[in-house]
Amino acid sequence: MNLRDVEIYHAVMTTGGAGRAAELLGTSQPTVSRSIAALERSVGFPMFQRVRGKLVPTREGQLFFAELSKTLVGLDRLRQVAARIREVGEGSLRIASLAAMGQILVPRAVARFLDRHPDVRLSLQVRTSSVVRDLVASGQVDLGLAADEIDTTGVHASSFASPRAVCILPLSHRLARRPRIEAADLHRERLVALAPDDTVRKAIDRILAGAGVEPRIVVETPFSATVAALVAEGAGIGLMNPFCIDRDLRSRVAVLPFEPAVHFRALILHPPGTVESRLMRSFKEILYSTRNAFVSH
Report in angstroms the alpha-carbon separations of 265 from 100, 148, 229, 234. 11, 6, 22, 28
φ, ψ (nearest 5 deg) of residue 21: -60, -40
Spatial separation of the C-alpha atoms in residues 217 and 236, rounded to whole Å: 9
Helix (H, G, I), strand (E, B) or coil at 110: helix
pLDDT in tens, 112-171: 999 999 989 999 999 999 999 999 999 999 999 999 989 999 999 999 999 999 999 999
Residue 9 binned pLDDT confidence (cut-offs 50, 70, 90): confident
pLDDT digits (tens, 9 = 90+) for 195-223: 999 999 999 999 999 999 999 999 999 99
Q: Which domains, and CATH codes, for the chain?
A: 3-88 (1.10.10.10), 92-161+265-296 (3.40.190.10), 166-259 (3.40.190.10)
Q: Is the pTM of this model over 0.85?
A: no
Backbone φ and ψ for 166, nearest 5 degrees, come out as -120, 155
CA distances from 171 to 50, 99, 207, 249 (A): 91, 25, 25, 11
Phi-psi region of 263 (alpha: psi -120 to 50; beta: other; left: phi over 0): beta
pLDDT-based confidence at 274, cuts 50/70/90? confident
DSSP code of 183? G
Residue 74's CB: how many other CB atoms inside 10 A? 9
* Residue 59 CB neighbours (<10 A): 9
CA–CA separation, 211 and 206 (whole Å): 9
Is residue 12 a contact partner of residue 40, using CB atoms and an 8 Å limit?
no
Q: What percent of the chain has pLDDT over 90?
A: 64
Helix ranges, 118-185 (H) = 129-137
Residue 256's H or E segment, with its range, is strand 253-259
pLDDT band at 12 (very low <50, low <70, confident <90, very high): confident
Specify the pLDDT at position 213: 97
